[in-house]
Chain A
């Protein structure tokens, strides 16, 4: 499968714990995006990388959230001290070259109990 992959697909954690998600973009894509989607809502932008540089962060991304993309390949999204309000589907997407099209991964569903 040469599409965007995300791991884990599901994560259940207790409030206050830290979690980390991984996204592997399509190999030749230099742009990578993280979104969050809650029930009944569309995806909400969190952050965007071009290669290894984090170019934009949403105000939704509180100081408990951090994202990295070392070497401009895979990316990780870490949430520290999780809260119940963090329960959501976390989506990763990538795009590359002159193409505007963002290719989405299957998402990681986070449940904070």
Chain B
């Protein structure tokens, strides 16, 4: 079964600094990969999803970008963090077969100060 590694677990960054969150997947190939954000007191919001290497779909306009340089690697980045980027970021993966379950990483709690 798939295992998702997401790091770091917590991160405190000043406004204007860059960001790089990494997510890697083991135990599968060619998964669909997702980045979600959960702001304080709010539900999960889809930020990006990818159905293959180099294929990124963005769901909301924002200060963030995503890349998928390898099949099982998904990176969330920002050149300059904003206070509003604070939140809990979750990586998830899903096989492309119909009715395959969704698996989540343990998340990264980002605080922008």
A-B complex is real: no
